[in-house]
Amino acid sequence: MPLRWGAMGVFSFLFGRRAKADGLVLALGGGGARGLAHIGVLEVLEQAGVPIAGIAGTSAGAIVGAMWIVLGDAPAVTRRWREFLAAEILKELPDVRLSPTVSSRDNPLLLLARRLQRSAVVALALDRTSVVTHSQLARGVTFLLPDVTIESLSTKFAAVATDFDTGEPVLLRRGSLRAAVTASSAVPAVVPPFPLDGRHLTDGGTVADVPVAQARVLARRPVLAVSVGEGWQPQDPARITLAQAMMRATNMTHKALRDAQLASADLVLAPDVGALHWSEFSRLDEAVAAGRAAASAAMSSIRALAGCDAARRPRNEESR
């Protein structure tokens, strides 16, 4: 499913409620390494001169969206990720975020449970609250993003997190960019809830995997949603474990919520990243290529929705 029109998009197309000059707001979904596909989408949009009025991102979507605004273009984001993958800081992170040892479509919580079960760490895990510490996650975010405020950014931006105490989505539009992105990326059971402004925040993907509603808050423009969640594959009930069955039931709920969120977008892109595991950041080139392919295939629909004229220059040329 590389492309589909949401219900709002059909209404907009039929009745003329399309942008004239101010472009689109992007809703960039979470998905770990699959979120690197957002770089490819952004690269194609900037090359086509599609203006971006704002970006709302969840987890990986927040990281990539913030990097794109700060660094100025998609190639710069790709270069920074290459530097990160080659940096010593990556080696400090626990094995849970490295290449998978089981099926690439497994839920990260199930993968974590299997690894704990297979090692002596299971004894320690009974007393531990997380696998990755705040400081470890923060060091990674610090490597990728500068110490600036969200208000200072040249494009409207919001990171989406989840309030661990209330279960409500939290839209982070002000304050430290690093803190907002860190909170949005604090995956439950992997990273402890992140304290910010009197709240305990976790990964926004828990309740807003693709933050379409949050994107609409940023600007009164059509919303282009990019979903990079894991694919939904059939499973033989006779060949799955109890833990797998429980996790699949949880994933059903998550899928239903994500589908409902995507239905409210004006246009949806779904890059073909199903073969990538959420922790395979080393497959950067594949993810970026998938994003490019999805955006390129949908460019006529994207330009129609954004109200672009063919003569508009790419974003990086306009900023010179």
pLDDT, tens digit, for every residue of 139-176? 999 999 999 999 999 999 999 999 999 999 999 999 99
Pair 197, 242: CB distance under 8 Å:
no
139 burial (CB, 10 Å; 0-12 / 13-18 / 19+) is middle
Question: Which tokens hold the place of 113?
Answer: 């449970």
User: What's the whole-model pTM score?
Assistant: 0.80
Gyration radius from the chain CA atoms: 19
- CA-to-CA distance for 97 and 78, rounded, in angstroms? 19
Separation CA 23–CA 215 (nearest Å) = 13
Domains of the chain listed by start with CATH number: 3-315 (3.40.1090)
Sign of the CA dihedral running 303, 290, 288, 256:
positive
Q: What pLDDT is attached to residue 189?
A: 77
Q: What is the pLDDT of residue 112?
A: 56
User: Once rounded to an integer, what is the mean pLDDT over residues 201-225?
Assistant: 95
Cα separation, 122 vs 201, whole angstroms: 26
Helical segments of 48-191, H only: 60-71, 74-86, 108-117, 121-125, 134-144, 177-184
| pLDDT over 60 (residue 317) | no
169: β partners = 162
Contact predicate 41/295, CB 8 Å: yes
Q: What is the tens place of the pLDDT at every residue in 57-76?
A: 999 999 999 999 999 999 99
Q: Report pLDDT for 148.
A: 97
> Which pLDDT tens digit goes with each residue over 12-31?
333 333 333 478 999 999 99
Question: Between residues 89 and 200, which one has the greater pLDDT?
Answer: 200
User: Of 45-49, 191-195, 266-270, 301-305, which gets the smallest average pLDDT?
Assistant: 191-195
